[in-house]
Structure 1
Amino acid sequence: MRLPLRASLLMVCTLLSLAGTAQVARTRMVVLMGARFDFTIVAADSLSAERYIDTCIAEVSRIEFLISDWKPASQVSQVNQQAGIAPVKVDREVLELTERAIRISEQTGGAFDISFAAMEKIWKYDGSMTQMPTEEAVMKAVSKVGYRNIVVDRERSTIFLKLPGMKIGFGALGEGYATDRCRDMMISRGIKAGIVNGSGDMSTWGRQPDGSHWTVGISDPFERGDLYAVLPLRTSAVVTSGSYEKYIELNGKRYSHIINPATGYPATGLMSVTVFGPSAELANAFSTSIMVMGKEAGFKLLRQYPDYRCIMVSDDKKFYTSRGVHLKRYRVKT
């Protein structure tokens, strides 16, 4: 079972059952979609909270069996198996998720691309890689990457990958989508507050039982295990992409797991990007894209989306924030 080390957000919250109130919070951790998911539900009683957590787990499991590319029977795996051969009929949900991913690819000039999955055999982060891949191997894999070769037919509800050997993979974007789905499902059922954290892709709503905001700890990428700041979470989603937890070292140089789809090589320049906004799915797409695009292009991208904010940390240990993020106010380290 693969356990991605993407998560660099640590929840800092007090889960209380207060005298005189009718709210309790319950938390459970499970492994879904190859990642750690933490569910916190605030409800009228413990039994109800646990049942709603069960509902969330069932929803993430349902999504996993649609989009997980490592499950041979999933719809996305079937699309990959038929690359260069034939279109594959998929559920409208999978089709629309793919369409949204393609739109982000267009808006980021390909910095985000779900067809990067063809690179998975080139860069390995499980400890087995001992030397750099050859330039020929990288270029061969890059030739299979390109969102423009993903054909979506809305009328027939099919997806077709034009090139043999192409693959699509939703990865952490799928985790962000799943956390958003759980949040929206709970709100529709009248649940006033909670958190769904899919390996660092976090969707929240409401407040803690004592009325205070949920808070999120921003990890210090230069001091493993330490927090740099703790911020109140006033928006409903937060996602971090970073190069400091999942990487390989070859010939004295560190290579991140975030690959530039255009070059086939790990992105450089930024060590982490945290994005706040209404949707974990979109925040994930932005954080990944900005890691590839770099600071200036990243800020330019987010200016088109005023509901989203970010914190960037560069390889030379400098912190940058977009408008509306008051990082210094909430620092826990000097």
Structure 2
Amino acid sequence: MMYKVQVRFLFHSDIKIKIPEIYNDSIFDDLFGILEDVNRKYNSYSENSYIDKINKNSGHFVKVDLQTIEILRKIIYLSKIIGGEYDIIIMPLIRLWGFYKQNPVLPYFEEIKKAKKLIDYKKIIVDRKRSCIKIGKNQEIITGSFIKAYAIEKMVNRMREMGIKDAVVNAGGSSIIAIDEWGIIAENPEDEKEVLRNVNGMPTRITKYKHSGDKDNDLFEIKIKNMSYSTSNQKNTYLMINNEKYGHIISPKTGFPSQNKQVGVITKSAFFGDIISTGLYNQTPEGFYKIMERLSCEMEISGFLIDKFGKIHYFNMEKYF
């Protein structure tokens, strides 16, 4: 079968949609329109989005729509399962570490300790009856770890409603959804060539990989159908402070960036997958297995963790190889 592809830049990523060529090009406008709508309404970086209003009115209830309520309820639920190592109120630590500064410096322990006091997803109050949300005073929600996947999942559901039965969506590499069976290559996060760019005011090291056909650069290949593959790593976005690398995935409990290398998660839900892969990034191998066991009782899930020593820990991955 022949396919057609469009790529557009949204959520600070190149979003690639690949569908059979029999469909009219106007479908791309409809599909990308769904992403743009989510970006406008729910992205914390979008002026006057529901999340932006919640952040600007911290300590007070803010009227929101039903989708905002459902998004935050699901996030709170998963945060509890992951044991607090996933927290969307992490922004104070991200700012402290200097991810929005040109010349970051290593924060003092007392500064980290102070910032950690603001980070607690349990202070998010969801009033479903009144359709209101409140966060603690001076708290701030950051949507970067889930909003793109939420939008992609919503768009893919629309694709299924339209009768598209063979397609793949690549959300900048961090989340891939396959309708019908597609092969996905998991690449080695250690084999990199880096260049420094400025993305949205944040100094970002962009990783350039060898061609995916280079077996030395591949971890393995998986085949998925009607599933999503979500990855979390710190190869693209990190700081260099005193010649040391500090990644952007920070533990809410320790206040320090995790030293793990990569997490990959296969789930039905890309939205859940991105949240879970981020939360698992802060886990020890023992914590990884414990949480995956718990999650497997509630959903179909597989995955792997590459720890700080480069050792790969697999959970229920065999059927996808």
Query: Percent identity among equivalent residues?
Result: 22
Runs of 4+ that moved beyond 4 A: none
Alignment partner of 1:241 is 2:232: yes
Give the aligned residue type for 1:38.
Answer: K
- Residues in 2 aligned to 1:151 and 1:70: alpha-carbon distance in whole angstroms: 21
What is the aligned length?
295
Question: Structure 1 residue 159: deviation in Å?
Answer: 0.6
Tell me what 2:141 maps to: 168
Question: Which residue, out of 3, 6, 12, partners 1:34?
Answer: 12
Tell me what 1:9 maps to: none
Tell me what 2:203 maps to: none
Alignment partner of 1:272 is 2:245: no
Alignment partner of 1:217 is 2:185: yes
Tell me what 1:100 maps to: 74
Alignment of 1:34-73 (within 5 A): 34-42=12-20, 44-45=22-23, 48=24, 50-73=25-48
CA RMSD of aligned residues (A): 1.9
Query: Does structure 2 conserve the Cα–Cα contact (< 8 Å) formed by 1:76 and 1:168?
Result: yes
- Residues in 2 aligned to 1:326 and 1:206: alpha-carbon distance in whole angstroms: 17
Query: Does structure 2 conserve the Cα–Cα contact (< 8 Å) formed by 1:175 and 1:201?
Result: no
TM-score by length of 1: 0.83
Question: Structure 1 residue 281: deviation in Å?
Answer: 0.9
- Residues in 1 aligned to 2:289 and 2:103: alpha-carbon distance in whole angstroms: 34
Residues 294, 60 of structure 1: alpha-carbon distance in 2 compared, 3 angstrom cutoff: same
Give the aligned residue type for 1:197.
Answer: N
Question: Structure 1 residue 134: deviation in Å?
Answer: 2.1
Residues 193, 201 of structure 1: alpha-carbon distance in 2 compared, 3 angstrom cutoff: farther
Query: Does structure 1 conserve the Cα–Cα contact (< 8 Å) formed by 2:178 and 2:224?
Result: no
Alignment of 1:4-153 (within 5 A): 16-17=1-2, 25-42=3-20, 44-45=22-23, 48=24, 50-84=25-59, 86-125=60-99, 128-153=102-127
Return the structure number with greater strand share.
2
- 1:58-78 CA deviation, whole Å, 9 max, x = no partner? 001100111111222111000
Tell me what 1:190 maps to: 163
Give the aligned residue type for 2:7.
Answer: M
Query: Does structure 2 conserve the Cα–Cα contact (< 8 Å) formed by 1:201 and 1:280?
Result: no
Residues 59, 96 of structure 1: alpha-carbon distance in 2 compared, 3 angstrom cutoff: same
Residues 203, 302 of structure 1: alpha-carbon distance in 2 compared, 3 angstrom cutoff: same
- 1:258-296 CA deviation, whole Å, 9 max, x = no partner? 01012221112x210000110111111111111112221
Does 92-101 or 240-249 show the bigger shift? Answer: 240-249
Does 36-45 or 65-74 show the bigger shift? Answer: 36-45
Tell me what 2:201 maps to: none
**Local SS of the residue matching 2:167:** strand
Residues 293, 314 of structure 1: alpha-carbon distance in 2 compared, 3 angstrom cutoff: closer
Give the aligned residue type for 1:218.
Answer: A
Give the aligned residue type for 1:260.
Answer: S
Unaligned runs of 5+ in 1: 1-15, 18-24, 208-212
Residues 64, 54 of structure 1: alpha-carbon distance in 2 compared, 3 angstrom cutoff: same
Alignment partner of 1:323 is 2:316: yes
Question: Structure 1 residue 254: deviation in Å?
Answer: 2.0
**Local SS of the residue matching 1:53:** helix
- 1:140-195 CA deviation, whole Å, 9 max, x = no partner? 22121101110100001111012x21011221311111111111111011111212
Give the aligned residue type for 2:64.
Answer: V
Question: Structure 1 residue 126: deviation in Å?
Answer: 6.3
- Residues in 2 aligned to 1:36 and 1:137: alpha-carbon distance in whole angstroms: 35
Tell me what 2:152 maps to: 179
Give the aligned residue type for 1:122.
Answer: L
Question: Structure 1 residue 220: deviation in Å?
Answer: 0.6
Query: Does structure 1 conserve the Cα–Cα contact (< 8 Å) formed by 2:118 and 2:138?
Result: yes
**Local SS of the residue matching 1:231:** strand
Question: Which residue, out of 280, 285, 292, partners 1:290?
Answer: 280
TM-score by length of 2: 0.86
**Local SS of the residue matching 2:261:** strand
